[in-house]
A and B are shown apart, each in its own frame.
Chain A
Amino acid sequence: MDREMIVDAVSKRFEDGTTALDGVSLEFARGEFAAIVGPSGCGKTTLLRILAGLEEPTSGHVELAAGGGRRDHMAMVFQEQSIYPWMRVRENVAVGLHGLGLALAAARAKVEEQLDLVGLRAFAGAFPHQLSGGMKQRVSIARAFASERRVLLMDEPFAALDEQTKIGLHGELLRIWEHTRKTVVFITHGIEESVVLADRVYVMTGRPGRIHARVDVPFSRPRDVVALRGDPEFGRLVVHVWGLLREGMAA
C-alpha cells in the first residue's frame, strides 16, 4: 500500500517543562482509517495539532508522501464547536474551499454536494445557533470533506454528543468516507468508537504519550455500525483494546 504520512520520533515538550509526547512514530497508508485511543491528557490532541501544522514538534518530524507543507494537505475536524457563528451553514462549508481557487459556480455546486452528503441541504441558509450539536459537527465534517485535502484529522469530533446522535454520525461518517477514501486519523477516548470506525487502532500510554500498541481491525467495508456491535469478534476486540489501554496506563 502507498504511504501517505510518516510520523518520525515526534516529541513535544511545553514551555512549563511538561512532556506531552515522547518519541511517537507512526506510519499511515493512503486511504486508511486510523484511530488513536488513549487516556485523557495523553497528548493525543497535541499529536493531532502537530499533524495539522497548528503546532511544531520539539523534536522529530512529520513527512508527507505528497510533499509540501502539512497545512496544505490536512483538513481538521475539531472537538469543540468550531464553525463560525457569524456565517451561515453554506458559508461555513465554503471555508473548506478557501484557497482552492474555484469559480463561484463551481464552489457553490461543491458546497451543495457536501451539504447533501451530510443531509443539511435544507439548513444551508441557517446560522449555527439554530442547529443542534450533532448538526454543527456535520457542518464541520462537510467543511473538511469540501476542502479536498488528502488527510482528514478528527479530534474527538463526537465526544460532546449524546449516544444516539453519535452512533448516527458514525454511520454517516463512514458512508461519506466510502465516497472519497481519504486517509483519516481519528482521535478518541471511546474504544468502541475506534473499533467501529477504524482499520487500525493505535493505543497510547498516559503522559508522556507514547504509542503502546497497534491493533488491526479485520471487519470488511462497508460496515454497518449497528450490526457490527452484535458481532462476537467486535466484543473481543473491544476487550482486547481495553486491556492494552490499561497496560499502557500502568506503563
Chain B
Amino acid sequence: MSQAWAVHVRRARHLRGLERALRLASPIVLLLLWEWAVRAHVLDARFFPAPSSVAGAAVALAKSGELWNDLRVTLVRLFLGFLTGAIPGVALGLAMGLSRWVRAVTSPLIAALYPIPKIAVLPLIILIFGLGDSSKIVIVAIGVFFIMAINTSAGVLQIERIYLDVAKAYGIRGLAFVHRVLLPGALPSLLTGAKVSLGIALILVVAAEFLAAKDGLGYLIWNGWQTLQVEQMYVGLVIVAVLGYVVTIGLEEAERTTLPWLNR
C-alpha cells in the first residue's frame, strides 16, 4: 500500500517536472526554429528579423536609454489610467450590486456604451484632452471603468444572502459593511475584472500611443514601422507581450499569497 503510494507520488512528481520543462522548452524551441528559418532564408528577414537581431536592437535601444524611457512612460500611463478608471468603476459596481434602482438607471447605459470600441472615441478624447499624457490616461480609464463596474456589480450580486443577513443581524453598516463584507465577498469577481481590464488597458495604451504620442512603447512600435526599422518594432512587440505576461502572473501570485481563502 505505502509502496504503491510512494510509486504514485514519484510518478506524479516526475510528470510535474516534465510539464514544467515543456513549459520552458516550448518558447525556446520556437525561437530556435525561427532563428534557423531566417538564416536558411525560409523566412524573409525584412518582415521577420531573426531573434538574434531583435535582441541586438533591444540592447542598442536599452543602452541609448530610449527603451527605458518608453517603458516608463507607458507604465505610468497604464497605472494612472487603471486607477482613474478602476476606482469609480468599483464604486459604481458596488452601488449597482446593492441597489436595484441604481441598476435600473445605469445598466442600459452601460449596455449601450460598453461595446463601443474605445479606440473609436480616441479622436474625441484627443480633442478634449490634447496630445499629452492625459488623453492616454483617459482612454485607458474608460476601458477599465466599464469592466470593473460590470465585474464588481456581478460580484456583489453573487454574494450569498446569508452573508448579508449576518451583517444585518450584527449591525455591520456603512463603511465597515463595504470593506469587511461587500468588497471581500465580491473579490473573486473583482480580481477577474482587474486581470481582464489590465490586459485591455495595455492594448488601449499601446494603440493610443500609435496615433498620438511622441514616446511610449506604442510609439516605439509605430516609429519602427514608419522608419522601416523592423527590429525596433519587434522589440516593442516583445516588451508589450512580456508586460502582459508579468502583469497576469503577478496578479495571480498576489492573489495566492494575500488571499489564501480564495483557493478553497
Task: Give A contacts to B, CB under 8 Å.
Answer: 52-54, 71-72, 74-76, 78, 80-87, 95-96, 98-99, 127-129, 143, 147
Binds A, one of B10-18, B36-44, B73-81, B170-178: B170-178
Distance to closest chain A CB from B181 (angstroms): 7
Distance to closest chain A CB from B117 (angstroms): 36
A-B contact pairs, 19 of them (CB 8 A): A52-B169, A53-B168, A71-B169, A75-B170, A76-B169, A78-B162, A80-B162, A82-B162, A82-B166, A84-B180, A84-B181, A86-B184, A95-B170, A98-B171, A98-B172, A127-B261, A128-B261, A129-B264, A143-B170
Out of A81, A99, A128, A129, name the residue touching B171 (CB < 8 Å).
Answer: A99
**Given A78-B162, A80-B162, A81-B162: A86 in contact with B170 (beta carbons within 8 A):** no
Which residues on A sit within 8 Å (CB–CB) of B187? 86
Q: Does B65 touch A at the CB level, under 8 Å?
A: no
A98 CA / B173 CA spacing, docked (Å): 10
A72 CA / B163 CA spacing, docked (Å): 18
Contact A85 B264 (CB under 8 A): yes
**Given A127-B260, A127-B261, A129-B261: A84 in contact with B166 (beta carbons within 8 A):** yes
Q: Does B259 touch A at the CB level, under 8 Å?
A: yes
Distance to closest chain A CB from B172 (angstroms): 5
A81 CA / B18 CA spacing, docked (Å): 40
Distance to closest chain B CB from A7 (angstroms): 18
- Majority-rule SS of A interface residues: loop
A143 CA / B169 CA spacing, docked (Å): 12
Contact B185 A98 (CB under 8 A): no
The 7 closest A-B pairs by CB, nearest first: A86-B184, A129-B264, A99-B171, A127-B261, A76-B169, A82-B162, A98-B170
Contact A99 B261 (CB under 8 A): no
Contact A98 B162 (CB under 8 A): no
Q: Does B165 touch A at the CB level, under 8 Å?
A: yes
Kindly identify, within residues 168 to 208 of chain B, every residue whose CB is under 8 Å from any CB belonging to chain A.
Answer: 168-172, 176, 180-181, 184-185, 187
Contact B171 A54 (CB under 8 A): no
Name the residue in A86, A98, A129, A147 with the highest tally of chain B Cβ atoms < 10 Å from its Cβ. A86
Q: Which residue of B lies closest to A140 (CB)?
A: B166
Which residues on B sit within 8 Å (CB–CB) of A96? 170
Contact B176 A85 (CB under 8 A): no
Kindly identify, within residues 46 to 61 of chain B, every residue whose CB is under 8 Å from any CB belonging to chain A.
Answer: none
Which residues on A sit within 8 Å (CB–CB) of B181? 84
A82 CA / B169 CA spacing, docked (Å): 12
Which residues on A sit within 8 Å (CB–CB) of B261? 85-86, 127-129
A81 CA / B163 CA spacing, docked (Å): 9
Distance to closest chain A CB from B122 (angstroms): 39
**8 further contact pairs, Cβ within 8 A, besides A82-B163, A83-B166, A84-B180:** A53-B168, A54-B169, A78-B165, A84-B181, A86-B187, A86-B261, A98-B170, A99-B171
Which residues on B sit within 8 Å (CB–CB) of A86? 184-185, 187, 259, 261
Contact A72 B259 (CB under 8 A): no
Contact B172 A84 (CB under 8 A): no
Contact A54 B163 (CB under 8 A): no
Distance to closest chain A CB from B100 (angstroms): 15
Which residues on B sit within 8 Å (CB–CB) of A74? 169
Name the residue in B170, B259, B261 with the highest tally of chain A Cβ atoms < 10 Å from its Cβ. B170
A147 CA / B172 CA spacing, docked (Å): 12
**Given A128-B261, A129-B261, A129-B264: A147 in contact with B162 (beta carbons within 8 A):** no
A54 CA / B169 CA spacing, docked (Å): 7
A98 CA / B117 CA spacing, docked (Å): 46
A71 CA / B171 CA spacing, docked (Å): 8
Q: Which residue of B lies closest to A96 (CB)?
A: B170
Contact A84 B170 (CB under 8 A): no
**Given A86-B187, A86-B259, A86-B261: A95 in contact with B162 (beta carbons within 8 A):** no
Contact A95 B166 (CB under 8 A): yes
Which residues on B sit within 8 Å (CB–CB) of A78? 162, 165-166
